[in-house]
């Protein structure tokens, strides 16, 4: 296990190193200067700035510096805001994104599990078909379409919740629903499949035989076992939420990383794009690693296979 873990972490570092190097050389190819007000600066000021950020050094030296700065968590300077560090921008916008993502995954999996359990217990009835229908819609309709429709019909036409911005709990409702649809659909499908399988197993028959109530069987015996594999899909779901939140934040005007990212794309603010890209890559790799480890913890067969390597 320890060997497997070290091996995985080494690959993780290699991947991140490759992405970071690639982004660095791309930034060198792109024309432009990191100083948005370069015209107003005098030559001396400019040369001081260039010297400060080491832009007159040979490229290999710059590369080494860039990598060293990365290790320290310094991602460079933004183009669109005068000399604001990318790291500061990212840290500032991390809060809303994390809140939104956390809410969406909680809300999505919770209702997904309920929907899945109900569908499995009432297999092949209208309840099951409705739940399947909701799941297909949730999986198929792109989150930005869903967000737009929610905003128009619930926000504008009915006026139940604020249409945009991020100023309090009531502002979180619509974006959370829009973002939660995909995890909800995925979780409900997964739980349904697992529940149906578990409900046919011997220990459920035993529980029925000893006279356990319907509620006890469903929630105490069956759901616990059905939930185990669901934990393993949480990882990919978190990854998909990272992409999903980009558009949701853009649509609802939430000052999170995604919104910042989309804005930076529109104004070609390369350092922010790159910094966020690296952050996404880092999170992505980390989530994948955690998921793989979880697989091993939950399913002993996989742990053995990993251990033998």
Among 55, 127, 173, 239, contact with another protein (rule: CB under 8 A):
239
CB of 227 to another protein, least distance (A): 16
Provide the CB-side half-sphere exposure for 60 (13 A, CA): 0
What is the footprint of another protein within residues 151-170 (CB under 8 A)?
151-152, 156
The per-residue DSSP string of 88-135 comes to HHHHHHHHHHHHHHHHHHHHHHHHHHHHHHHHHHTTTSHHHHHHHHHH
CB of 239 to another protein, least distance (A): 7
CB of 137 to another protein, least distance (A): 7
Among 76, 150, 181, 189, contact with another protein (rule: CB under 8 A):
189
- Span interacting with another protein, options 42-50, 88-96, 147-155, 219-227, rule CB under 8 A: 147-155
CB of 15 to another protein, least distance (A): 4
85 - beta bridge partners? 77
Q: How far apart, in whole angstroms, are the C-alpha atoms of residue 148 and residue 127?
A: 28
With both helix axes pointing from N to C terminus, report the angle between 86-121 and 126-140 in degrees, rounded to the nearest 10: 160
CB of 43 to another protein, least distance (A): 29
Asked if 94 interacts with another protein (CB under 8 A), we say no
Asked if 4 interacts with another protein (CB under 8 A), we say no
Q: How far apart, in whole angstroms, are the C-alpha atoms of residue 279 and residue 177?
A: 25
- CB burial readout 125-145, b (16+ within 10 A) else e: eeebeebbebbeebeeeebee
Q: How far apart, in whole angstroms, are the C-alpha atoms of residue 182 and residue 235?
A: 13
Q: Which is nearer to another protein, 134 or 207 (CB)?
A: 134
Burial class (CB in 10 A: 0-12, 13-18, 19+), 10: exposed
- Alpha-carbon separation of residue 286 from 16, 223, 235, 245, 281 (angstroms): 10, 28, 10, 18, 8
The SS3 assignment for 73 reads coil
Binding mask 242-261 for another protein (x = CB under 8 A): xx--xx--xx----------
Among 95, 142, 300, 307, contact with another protein (rule: CB under 8 A):
142
Asked if 273 interacts with another protein (CB under 8 A), we say yes
Asked if 270 interacts with another protein (CB under 8 A), we say yes
List of residues contacting another protein (CB under 8 A): 11-12, 14-16, 18-19, 22-23, 26, 29-30, 136-137, 139-142, 144-145, 148-149, 151-152, 156, 189, 192-193, 239, 242-243, 246-247, 250-251, 262, 265-266, 270, 273, 277, 280-281, 284-285, 288
């Amino acid at each position: 296990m320890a060997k497997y873990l070290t091996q995985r972490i080494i690959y993780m570092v290699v991947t991140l190193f490759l992405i970071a190097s690639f982004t660095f050389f791309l930034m060198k190819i792109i024309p432009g200067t990191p100083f948005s007000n370069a015209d107003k600066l005098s030559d001396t000021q400019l040369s001081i700035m260039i010297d400060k950020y080491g832009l007159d050094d040979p490229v290999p030296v710059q590369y080494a510096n860039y990598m060293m700065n990365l290790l320290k968590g310094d991602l460079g300077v933004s183009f669109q805001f005068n000399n604001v560090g990318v790291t500061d921008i990212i840290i500032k916008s991390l809060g809303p994104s994390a809140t939104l993502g956390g809410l969406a995954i909680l809300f999505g999996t919770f209702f997904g599990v309920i929907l899945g359990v109900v569908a499995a217990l009432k297999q092949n009835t209208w309840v099951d078909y409705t739940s399947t229908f909701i799941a297909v819609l949730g999986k198929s309709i792109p989150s930005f379409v869903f967000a737009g429709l929610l905003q128009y019909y619930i926000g504008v036409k009915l006026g139940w919740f604020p249409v945009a911005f991020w100023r309090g709990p009531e502002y979180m409702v619509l974006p959370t629903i829009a973002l939660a649809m995909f995890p909800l659909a995925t979780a409900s499908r997964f739980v349904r499949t697992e529940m149906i399988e578990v409900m046919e197993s011997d220990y459920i028959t035993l529980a029925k035989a000893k006279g356990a109530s319907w509620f006890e069987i469903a929630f105490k015996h069956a759901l616990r076992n059905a939930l185990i594999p669901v934990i393993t899909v949480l990882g990919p779901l978190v990854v998909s939420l990272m992409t999903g939140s980009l558009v949701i934040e853009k649509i609802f005007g939430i000052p999170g990383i995604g919104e910042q990212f989309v804005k930076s794309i529109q104004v070609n603010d390369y350092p922010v794009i790159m910094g966020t890209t690296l952050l996404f890559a880092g999170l992505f790799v980390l989530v994948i690693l955690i998921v793989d480890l979880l697989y091993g913890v939950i399913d002993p067969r996989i742990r053995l296979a990993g251990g033998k390597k």
